[in-house]
Amino acid sequence: MRTTARRTALTASAAALALLVAACGGGDEKGGDEAAKGDAAAGAPAAKALTTAELEKLVIAPADLEDHKVAEPGKDDVPDPGTLSVEQAECEPVAQALSSAPTGEPAASVQRLVTRESEAAKKGMPDLTGLTEKEAEEAMLDSLDITRTTTSLRSYDADGTKRALDALREAGKQCAGGFAMSVDGEKQQVTKVTEEKLAAGEGAVAWTVGTELDGTPADTKVVVFRQGVTLAGFSSFNVAAVGRGEAFEQPTAVIEAQEAKLG
């Protein structure tokens, strides 16, 4: 997720807690790779990337998910890929996936922002009247229980999806201990890249990426899987989890809905 959007979320969380004080008086691979090798050995023609128009028909839509909002991301939701820089070149693929930027050279790309609010978050700012400070703090954080997932579909010619996924997998291993990066002019420290297990498409990588921005730690769930000539990427962030310092789950419903649509 773009650091501007994350900073906005953290600022909202801080402002909400400040209000509270005032109110209280104080990846596993599947068999797809083997099939791809078999096709190459048989002299099959190189696969051709999908067009943007074709990806628009395949990307997740509001009708594909219940209790989620799906929209095209605004200018503050995704970074300008040209502003991304990484201190360690071998870690660039991780930084790209974290920032919803492309790995390799896709021929076409589309993105969506998927938002899921808890029931408490849907109600908006809670009434703190009569609550203890602890109860009010929990109510405020409940109202910020919002998960935002930037979903990207990118299509590549020939074996571009496999090469991009291989690059991501290798970078995740090499950069597990963290690295420094900058995007949109804002520096942040990746503190860890922790592998998670996920079976999706014809091969996938899944990580919890720990970051620190302005001294505030946060985790982002990052998933990329491939299906034919298309890579599906997900970068997911939960506002309340930051405030509580808690882990949150992968956006499984979003991933599964997109996988089903890709077939």
Domains of the chain are 27-119+146-262 (3.40.1000)
At position 176, the amino acid (one-letter code) is A
Distance (Å, rounded) from C-alpha 33 to C-alpha 39?
10
- Buried b / exposed e along 176-214 (16+ C-beta atoms within 10 A): bebbebebeebebebeebeeeebebbbbbbbbbbbbebe
Distance (Å, rounded) from C-alpha 125 to C-alpha 131?
14
Query: Residue 111, SS3?
Result: strand
| Residue 84: pLDDT band with limits 50, 70, 90 | very high
Work out the average pLDDT over 63-87. Answer: 92
* pLDDT computed for residue 44 by the predictor: 62
Per-residue CA distances from 218 to 68, 132, 171, 209, 237 (Å): 22, 27, 20, 8, 8
Q: Which two tokens stand for residue 255?
A: 């991933």
* pLDDT computed for residue 43 by the predictor: 57
Minimum mean pLDDT range among 98-102, 136-140, 194-198: 136-140
Closest CA to 255 of 219, 231, 238, 228: 231
Q: Is the pLDDT of residue 234 over 50?
A: yes
pLDDT digits (tens, 9 = 90+) for 147-162: 999 999 999 999 999 9
| Residue 71: pLDDT band with limits 50, 70, 90 | very high
Distance (Å, rounded) from C-alpha 144 to C-alpha 240?
5
Query: Residue 35, SS3?
Result: helix
| Residue 181: pLDDT band with limits 50, 70, 90 | very high
* pLDDT computed for residue 164 by the predictor: 97
**237 Cβ contact list (under 8 Å, min separation 6):** 1, 5, 6, 9, 147, 148, 149, 218, 220, 221
Minimum mean pLDDT range among 17-26, 66-75, 190-199: 17-26
| Residue 245: pLDDT band with limits 50, 70, 90 | confident
Higher pLDDT, 104 or 38: 104
Distance (Å, rounded) from C-alpha 167 to C-alpha 241?
29
* pLDDT computed for residue 34 by the predictor: 47
Pair 243, 6: CB distance under 8 Å: no
